[in-house]
Structure 1
Amino acid sequence: MPEDVRIGLLGCSSIAARRFLPALAASPARLTAVAARDAGRAAEFAARFGGTPARDYRELLERDDVDAVYVSVHTGGHAALARAALAAGKHALVEKPLATTEADGAAVLAAARAAGRVVMENRMFVHHGQHATAAGLVADGAIGELRVLSAAMAIPPLPAGDIRHRADLGGGALLDVGYYPLHAALLHLAGPLAVVGATRQTDPRYDVEVGGAALLRDATGVAAHLTYGFTHAYRSSYELWGERGRIVLERAFTPAAGWQPVLRLERQDRVELRTLPAEDHFVGALGEFLAAVRGERDLAAHGERTLAGLALIDAIRAASARTGVSE
């Protein structure tokens, strides 16, 4: 595989414009083709970012100047479009989550193995160094034994017509923002994780949940309290609470490329604030994907974590359905 991997864009989303394409421009890869449901939008993106506009997704996948694709369509379309790309012989970087269920995610990973191609869920936030710093402090005993993880990702109310309010497009707060606190738990706790209980918040105008919470337990008994939603003031944070202190990260999941995170380390007799370097986690995620495409990185563990996350989403969904809802 050449160093300058040729990328096709499947879906002209806001996140593609704001984060992925700037990261791509800073990489050795290059954009060669663009497709969207609306051919006019694809032409606009191509004029702005480069590449050749395709009439539709199929035309892009048939091009011989595309080695890999970035899938950034509505969540409900991720798995099917990823499988189509793999069947066409393309590698695929897929916006999170890879699928809406564990079964669909497993089918995508199986398709990648059968095709001999790379597929990777774009779990971008884990590529920011602030998380390794927090994990290192825990490992070094800075807060003693870890007892509880609390994580939250929530955003203010969305417009009524937003696609994340539509179940048929893979909408709902759990898949969109609940993904982040769930993967924070998978990042820091000892697997496997079990869902102890969950609840969800609904809105009679929509057929998806607009918020929820879950209680998880890891293999050693450490608890994880997860909160997510579309009806809150913005929050993107987690806390690691140990026997002798706690670590807090704000802007944990969606920091801007130039944002310098501040890690708060609280102990019995003092509070320490550490300003950490700014990083673009999209650059890190794309770099890992390109390394895998070039055969320099094994993504087996990444795939296992992807399925573990989807299994927890399935379990939270089932547990919240048993518990009931609030409006």
Structure 2
Amino acid sequence: MPVNRAGPVRLGVLGCADIAWRRTLPAVLAEPRLRLVAVASRDGRRAQRFADRFGAAPVTGYDRLLDRDDIDAVYVPLPAGLLPRWVDAALAAGRHVLAEKPLGRTGAEAHDLVARAAARDLVLMENNAFQLHPQHDAVRRLVAAGEIGPLRTVTSVFGIPPLPPEDVRYRPELGGGALLDLGFYPLRAAQMFLGPDLRVVGAHLHPGPSGVDVAGSALLAAPDGAEAAVSFGFGHAYRNAYELWGGEGRLVLERAFTPPPEHRPVLSLHDANGARQRTLRSHHQFAALVADFADAVTTRRSLRQHHEEVIGRAALAEAVRRHAGVEVR
């Protein structure tokens, strides 16, 4: 169990995922309130590769990293099927946790992990980097100002080209599938703009050769009659975007979920006066993510709203699976 100490939060990593290599760990190195100490993998060579690049100690085996006494917090970029076990193990070892999504595959699973973190007075945060980008605040301000009239429909999509056959997202034993990976984003976007009480009124999940869903869509209804249509999949031309359609116009945001740090988002407004565009400022959403985690650990601020969103998103994905006739494991 690490002791309380002044200075940066000492961070360990459980897993050598691509997202850690490309986005999260470079952001960690730039965050002064975090210090990367060790990186663990079941494969010692992978751990060494990450350790060499990011200046950390390599560790073979996740348990061995959690046994170290120089770790205050862990980042867990593991597949969906492994996340609950190792997030729980990290919490049991007294570590604060930043986890990749989905933190829970079901609402109950997410609720249990949140409750365990609260009982141990530990920070538990799901990767919500896309929500930290100020482009979404710009959209909210325009909607609140009545630029498109009453919001009627949210349409949101995230699709990527087919993955290599060996990709972990095709493996059912690791919790693979498009819904828990890409579907996370359009479902969360629907909740951002229509509220948490969405009801699934239609859903379809298309299975691939391995049995996991490789594409899907869902129709959601809000209590006030507004609706959302979401689509996602591994066999598409790359796109991630959402459109808000109101009584008097519509707003369209491309690269809504994965804008590079240097990208300046372009928000399109279409109404009776024609089409016009607003170019927004760039933002490093992964830098914002690790800064948010460091702040939560050092200040112990309440994460109640974040936890409610995590549980609600997991429950919504669970409802999509059930409505599509797919067993929730």
The answer, yes or no, to whether TM exceeds 0.5 is yes
**Which deviations, in whole Å up to 9, do the C-alpha atoms of 1:204-253 show, x marking residues without a partner?**
x2211110110001121110000011111111000001111111000001
Q: Work out whether residues 3 and 294 of structure 1, in 8 Å CA contact, stay in contact via their aligned partners in 2.
A: no
Report deviation, 1:14: 0.7
**Which deviations, in whole Å up to 9, do the C-alpha atoms of 1:56-91 show, x marking residues without a partner?**
111111112111100001111111111100000100
Q: Work out whether residues 245 and 251 of structure 2, in 8 Å CA contact, stay in contact via their aligned partners in 1.
A: yes
1-structure distance, mates of 2:73, 2:294: 9
Quote the residue 2:288 is aligned against.
Answer: 284
Report deviation, 1:45: 0.7
1-structure distance, mates of 2:6, 2:199: 43
2:236 equivalent to 1:232: yes
> What is the identity, as a one-letter code, of the residue corresponding to 1:279?
H
SS in 2 for 1:294: helix
Quote the residue 1:207 is aligned against.
Answer: 211
Report deviation, 1:173: 0.6
1-structure distance, mates of 2:291, 2:210: 38
**Which of residues 119, 126, 129 in structure 1 aligns to 2:124?**
119
Quote the residue 2:182 is aligned against.
Answer: 177
Report deviation, 1:3: 4.6
Quote the residue 1:37 is aligned against.
Answer: 42
SS in 2 for 1:79: helix
**Which deviations, in whole Å up to 9, do the C-alpha atoms of 1:14-56 show, x marking residues without a partner?**
1001100111111111101110111111111111101111121
Q: Work out whether residues 104 and 311 of structure 2, in 8 Å CA contact, stay in contact via their aligned partners in 1.
A: no
The two structures have a TM-score, normalised by structure 1, of 0.96
2-structure distance, mates of 1:59, 1:32: 13
2:270 equivalent to 1:295: no
Report deviation, 1:114: 1.7
> What is the identity, as a one-letter code, of the residue corresponding to 1:266?
H
Identity among equivalent pairs (%): 47
2:270 equivalent to 1:266: yes
SS in 2 for 1:42: helix
SS in 2 for 1:76: coil
RMSD between aligned residues: 1.2
Quote the residue 1:89 is aligned against.
Answer: 94
Report deviation, 1:191: 2.8
Quote the residue 1:325 is aligned against.
Answer: none
Q: Work out whether residues 196 and 312 of structure 2, in 8 Å CA contact, stay in contact via their aligned partners in 1.
A: no
Any gaps of 5 or more consecutive residues in structure 1? 323-327
Structure 1: 4+ residue segments shifted above 4 A? none
**Which of residues 188, 213, 224 in structure 1 aligns to 2:193?**
188
The two structures have a TM-score, normalised by structure 2, of 0.95
